[in-house]
Amino acid sequence: MSNIANTEINDQVIRPNYDRTALKSRIVHLGFGAFHRAHQALFTSEMLDKNGSDWGICEINLFGGEDLIKQLREQDHLYTVAEKGADATTVKMVGSVTESLHPVLDGQRAVLEKMAEEQVAIVSMTITEKGYCADPATGRLDKNNGLIKADLANPSEPNSAIGYIVEALRIRRELNIKPFTVMSCDNVQENGHVARAAVLDFAMLVDKDLAGWIETNVTFPCTMVDRIVPAATAETLAEITTLVGVEDPCGIACEPFRQWVIEDNFVNGRPEWNIVGAEFVTDVVPFEVMKLRMLNGSHSFLAYLGYLGGYAHISDTMTNESYRKAAFDMMMKAQAPTLNMPEGTDLEGYANLLINRFTNPSLKHQTWQIAMDGSQKIPQRMGGSLRFHLDAGSDYKWLAMGIAGWMTYISGSDEKANPIDVRDPMVDLFKEIYQQHGINTSVVKALLGIEAIFGTDLIKNEELVTAITDAYQLIITDGARAAVASL
């Protein structure tokens, strides 16, 4: 079948210009999803164009995505990224990926053996927030997580990303091979620290000596990653076919903006991603927190209240002046004051840039997609800021409205009584709570009582309970649009 590897493609596609046969899988990446394709893999490809090094990537999907991996192999692991600005689109072909594996296609053993190969220097991850199997409120391994329980019972045949990493490190230690760096690229606050805690907590339960070896020899740099990459749709794939000249089922569309700030802490070498715009720094955490609160916090706000207000995409919410203003105020009044940034950081400039990015009409980023997995996102996007304002006695009405929006959304029913397809690891608990309370303000306390999301402190704050209850009441009586306008 004709594909991008064996067919003449349109001249406008920017192609890799380096010897792909010289690449080695020095990076194993877990999570060949939308984001990685348009971010780390593209950064790596552009770097290879400049320095001709041998940093190739082996892609692994631990959950789902078998068809994507099969397809990728059929097209010699080449695929395209369409960077869609408001007015123009640039298409780039990525060549940094030269291998792929999937436990369903190749077996668990093949994945572990690859991760244990001597030349593998980095295992990177975009496995979604829930992939860390951590308690969202504490950031420590959730020992009651089903995947973790199964992996602890049978550590040599893991299924979770954490189980795979620990077993691969065990094998490397046994074979006297240097460890790899574990680099999280997920939207998790202090993602490196969370990955480290999960790996060490798991290893401690399996083999204390191994845990000690990991603690001493493995590093887990934190990273701040940013690029809006909506899930591919039939529409974006059709557009890519037109731009490329042949179908590319692995193709992905995204915004032109991209940012990558990486803690420079690698145990076994690293690529020079800095030559194509990544920044290596000693402390990423302030940048991570800034992005998670200002970008992702307002994204979640717009996702819940936008979906309820009848907006399918983030750019649609930006056409409503009160949503636009509320998003900006959420950034500048609710989130910016909670940050502790290096001198000279222009937060207002950052907020304006974010509003512009959200407005990009070429990107069809579904509010429903961002609304997914709220139990994993709310703590880091809104919880910390809420605590800041409660301590400081300052105004947090945007956060209260955002949380009330989430609470309404997870009822599973929209303003016109249409069902909402709520996707979340805690969806069964939400259903149970809603079955008991119905759409009624009494649900607010029941939801705030979920310790894994809100800790034990927030429910005790009467002022906060009232603020969220009032916001919830307004949403259910007047609708999300009126509630947002009331801010």
Distance CA 328, CA 81 (A): 29
Distance CA 326, CA 479 (A): 16
Distance CA 129, CA 292 (A): 12
Answer for which of 102, 172, 196, 227 binds ligand CS2 (CB under 6 A) is 227
Q: Which two tokens stand for residue 479?
A: 């609708």
Distances (CA, A) of 466 to 214, 311, 401: 46, 27, 12
Distance CA 369, CA 234 (A): 15
The site map against ligand NAI for 48-77 (x = CB under 6 A) is -------------xxxxx------------
Answer for which of 100, 128, 317, 375 binds ligand NAI (CB under 6 A) is 128
Tell whether residue 151 is a contact of ligand NAI (CB under 6 A).
no
* Pick 32 or 220: Cβ nearer ligand NAI: 32
Q: Are 261 and 290 contacting, i.e. CB atoms less than 8 angstroms apart?
A: no
Question: For the chain, what is the largest distance between any 2 Cα atoms, rounded to a whole number of angstroms?
Answer: 66
370 binds, among ligand NAI, ligand CS2, none (CB under 5 to 8 A by kind): ligand CS2
Q: Are 468 and 475 contacting, i.e. CB atoms less than 8 angstroms apart?
A: no
Tell whether residue 35 is a contact of ligand NAI (CB under 6 A).
yes
Answer for which of 29, 77, 299, 313 binds ligand CS2 (CB under 6 A) is 299
The region of 19-27, 120-128, 134-142, 293-301 touching ligand CS2 under the rule CB under 6 A is 293-301
Query: Which residue spans within 41-188 are E strands per DSSP?
Result: 55-60, 79-84, 89-94, 97-101, 122-125, 181-184
Distance in angstroms between the alpha carbons of the first and the last residue of the chain: 55
Answer for which of 27, 28, 34, 446 binds ligand NAI (CB under 6 A) is 34
Answer for which of 56, 95, 131, 271 binds ligand NAI (CB under 6 A) is 131
Q: Which two tokens stand for residue 91?
A: 């298409």
Distance CA 346, CA 117 (A): 44
To ligand CS2, the closest distance from the beta carbon of 432 in angstroms equals 25
Tell whether residue 130 is a contact of ligand NAI (CB under 6 A).
yes
| Nearest-CB residue for ligand NAI | 33
Number of residues near ligand CS2 (by CB under 6 A): 10
To ligand NAI, the closest distance from the beta carbon of 464 in angstroms equals 27
Tell whether residue 187 is a contact of ligand CS2 (CB under 6 A).
yes
Answer for which of 296, 335, 362, 385 binds ligand CS2 (CB under 6 A) is 296
Q: Are 151 and 202 contacting, i.e. CB atoms less than 8 angstroms apart?
A: yes
3-state secondary structure of 463: helix
To ligand NAI, the closest distance from the beta carbon of 32 in angstroms equals 5
Strand order in the sheet with 97-101: 97-101, 55-60, 24-30, 122-125, 181-184
Tell whether residue 331 is a contact of ligand CS2 (CB under 6 A).
no
Residues 212-231 that bind ligand NAI (CB under 6 A): 225, 227-229, 231
* Pick 137 or 147: Cβ nearer ligand NAI: 147
